[in-house]
Structure 1
Amino acid sequence: MQKKYKPIDLKNVKTLPLEDRPTKVQSSDFAQLCPVNPNLMQFLESLPDILKARELRAVVEAIVAANQRQKPVVIGIGGHIIKCGLSPLIIQLMTEGIISGIAMNGGASIHDFELALIGRTSEDVAASLESGMFGMVRETGESMNHAIKLGSERSLGLGESLGMRLIEIAPPFLEYSILAAGKKLGIPVTVHTAIGGDTIHMHPGADGSALGHTSFIDFRLLTSIIMDFDSGGVYLNLGSAVILPEVFLKALNLARNLSSHKIESFTTVNMDMLQHYRPLQNVVQRPTQIEGHGYSITGHHEIMIPLLLHAVLAKLKANSL
């Protein structure tokens, strides 16, 4: 026989006072009114102390604290960061001593190099792919592969090899090159390439052993910086979905393997237009699961990265007053 059910009686339901209930949002966290046309610090302080606005401020504070404590701040960049026109901002932070190192994937190094040569980069892949001419620009392939071979002979890293070459040939748009800026300022710019993953690998002058040699030197250089990350270092992954998250995780593991002290209590950040598996796991979550802070902030590079970097500059200036 099937059991019959009746609507429940609510008279015995337990309740509690509103004041006793824990809450996630309170009015003191709300956006604050600020003047029309505020300065950047006024704008930042007016943001709600909620969700990603809170995280953005936390990232700014972490970078500022790292700078003041002389801990490394390393930015990993994919090619899209260069193509979004953000090189001048990154170079400004390098010049002012806020950034300790740059890690690039191979694509970012190509866009950086081309910008220095002619002030333009980024071809229409679909338009050239059918003819087999995608990535076959002569000057880019010849000059970069030549620089990498020379760098390998001198036991230089890939990033330093390219930066040195650009300074030697002094192209008309050199001021836009992060690679050249790193060489001039003595700030490590490392390049982490996957053989066959970049257009210059298709050129007659490509040398696999030179690519591997120089990129491996850069992997070891990045690892040495990460060994100083304990108690305040910051790593930002900007726009690399695969290569740099993998490289960062291995470099961190190697640093911990070799270090005589624990490498903990640092901050990691992933900023991208979409959140992907590897950056979330290899940058944000796994490295900081014991101790530290990991943040993921989603948005278009050409808006979010200038906001972050200018906020850091504004905060540092405010602190110095």
Structure 2
Amino acid sequence: MSEISAFRKYLHSKHKLFDRNQMTYYPLSSRKNKVAIESSCVDPLTDTINVSKELQQTTAQIADEIERARNRGSSVMCAFGAHTIKNGIGQLLGKLAQQGWISHLATNGAGVIHDWEFAYFGQSSEDVRTNVQEGKFGTWQETGLYINLALAIGAYEGLGYGESIGAMIVHNGLEIPTRSDLQKIANSPEDAIDKRASALDLLGLISELDESLFGTFLQIKHPYSKYSAQAMAWEADVPFTSHPMFGHDIIYTHKANRGSVIGRTAERDFLSYVHSVANLEGGVYLSVGSAVMSPMIFEKSLSMVRNCGKQVTDCAIHVVDLQKESWDWSLGEPPVDNPAYYLRFMKTFSRMGCNASYVCSDNHAFFVSLYRELNKRS
């Protein structure tokens, strides 16, 4: 064999893909979890967490801003990390959406998963260290199968990522088209290319998983749906968008996962998010416990909006996180030799040309205090 042929063989072997069909998936009921939603759900009116006087004053100011924004019809957006859901705040967020205080909820892929597992199973948050060592981390049949299947059906129906999961929870299952209906749409030149492609995706997925599912309603009961922010947002017709990064979440371990489906639903959610950013003049943006997702999608969205000639400068941005404040951002950006310069999320928001402030707080205490302040204004 020549050196060139040997090199090509080597390159070919390097580009082989891992086959998820080799994997073993385990029932969710066999997993030990750290959080049970019935005992962890936060009721802001009876919660006993300590809220400092300083935090109470801050949330009172934010509540005033939210009230003004709502009265003028501006967006009130809340982007949050997955720990907000793990800390039992999902139902509180859902109430804020249902009561009209928040007009858009946004999270990452993990936030969606924890919220769904609570709604379906009542528990979430596995032991990562132990399960990685045993080759079980993220290999849960129901989570991987149902979320990926819901996204495939949502993509076919023209829904976003968060909408797809919220709809599954509310409807306690998934309506799966017949094989003939999917084939008809896939072959129809009258339908949009994206619709035809999503029909082919769903057709291929169901064919691979279980042919008997075609034309059925797959019942998936969610006995704890009252705790789900996604379900509450779906019922209130408030956007709940997910902004995942491929490979970050446990659903990617499952053989039902399809990249095209993730792309279609997440793209829709991103554009929904941009639409809400376009209405942020006079509005409020809360970024809670999201060091990467929230600032990254916000800066692109704001640039897109301004690219189209719509100015958004008069909005209040409040960043909430646990890291202690070490710089007064009202003075501008810190020098590069100051550690605060590398606080990525504040650096990003400080560059947006809007009024950005930092609140050092646990997300539990922050949302409880904010809810109480808004409740006074109801």
Q: TM-score, normalised by structure 1?
A: 0.78
Partner residue in 2 for 1:95: 98
Q: Which amino acid aligns with 2:295?
A: P
Q: Which amino acid aligns with 1:194?
A: M
Match among 279, 284, 303 for residue 253 of structure 1? 303
Matched-pair contact (CA < 8 Å) for 1:55–1:295: no
Matched-pair contact (CA < 8 Å) for 1:192–1:215: yes
Matched-pair contact (CA < 8 Å) for 1:237–1:279: no
Partner residue in 1 for 2:190: none
Pairwise CA distance, 1:78: 0.9
Matched-pair contact (CA < 8 Å) for 2:59–2:369: no
Matches within 5 A, 1:116-265: 116-169=119-172, 170-230=221-281, 232-258=282-308, 260-265=309-314
Pairwise CA distance, 1:233: 1.0
Q: Which amino acid aligns with 2:80?
A: I
d(CA) in 1 for partners of 2:103 and 2:147?
A: 24
Q: How big is each residue's C-alpha offset from its partner over 1:93-117, in whole Å with a ceiling of 9 and x where there is no partner?
A: 1111111010110110000000100
Aligned residues: 266
Matched-pair contact (CA < 8 Å) for 2:292–2:345: yes
Matched-pair contact (CA < 8 Å) for 2:94–2:230: no
d(CA) in 2 for partners of 1:300 and 1:150?
A: 37
Query: What is the root-mean-square deviation of aligned Cα atoms in Å?
Result: 2.2
Unaligned segments of structure 1, at least 5 residues: 1-43
Unaligned segments of structure 2, at least 5 residues: 1-50, 173-220, 325-341
Match among 272, 278, 282 for residue 348 of structure 2? 282
d(CA) in 1 for partners of 2:365 and 2:58?
A: 16
d(CA) in 1 for partners of 2:111 and 2:271?
A: 19
Q: TM-score, normalised by structure 2?
A: 0.66
d(CA) in 2 for partners of 1:256 and 1:180?
A: 32
d(CA) in 2 for partners of 1:175 and 1:47?
A: 31
1:309 corresponds to 2:371: yes
d(CA) in 2 for partners of 1:280 and 1:313?
A: 29
Pairwise CA distance, 1:277: 2.1
d(CA) in 2 for partners of 1:295 and 1:227?
A: 20
| Structure number, greater radius of gyration | 1
Q: Which amino acid aligns with 2:131?
A: S
What SS class does the counterpart of residue 256 from structure 2 fall into?
coil
Pairwise CA distance, 1:54: 5.4
Determine what percentage of the aligned residue pairs are the same residue: 30
d(CA) in 1 for partners of 2:59 and 2:67?
A: 12
Partner residue in 1 for 2:85: 82
Q: How big is each residue's C-alpha offset from its partner over 1:216-268, in whole Å with a ceiling of 9 and x where there is no partner?
A: 110001101111111x111101111112221111111111112x431110011
Q: Which amino acid aligns with 1:257?
A: N
Pairwise CA distance, 1:282: 2.4
d(CA) in 2 for partners of 1:256 and 1:172?
A: 44
Matched-pair contact (CA < 8 Å) for 1:141–1:205: yes
Pairwise CA distance, 1:278: 2.6
Q: Answer 1 or 2: higher relative contact order, Cα 8 Å, separation at least 6.
A: 2
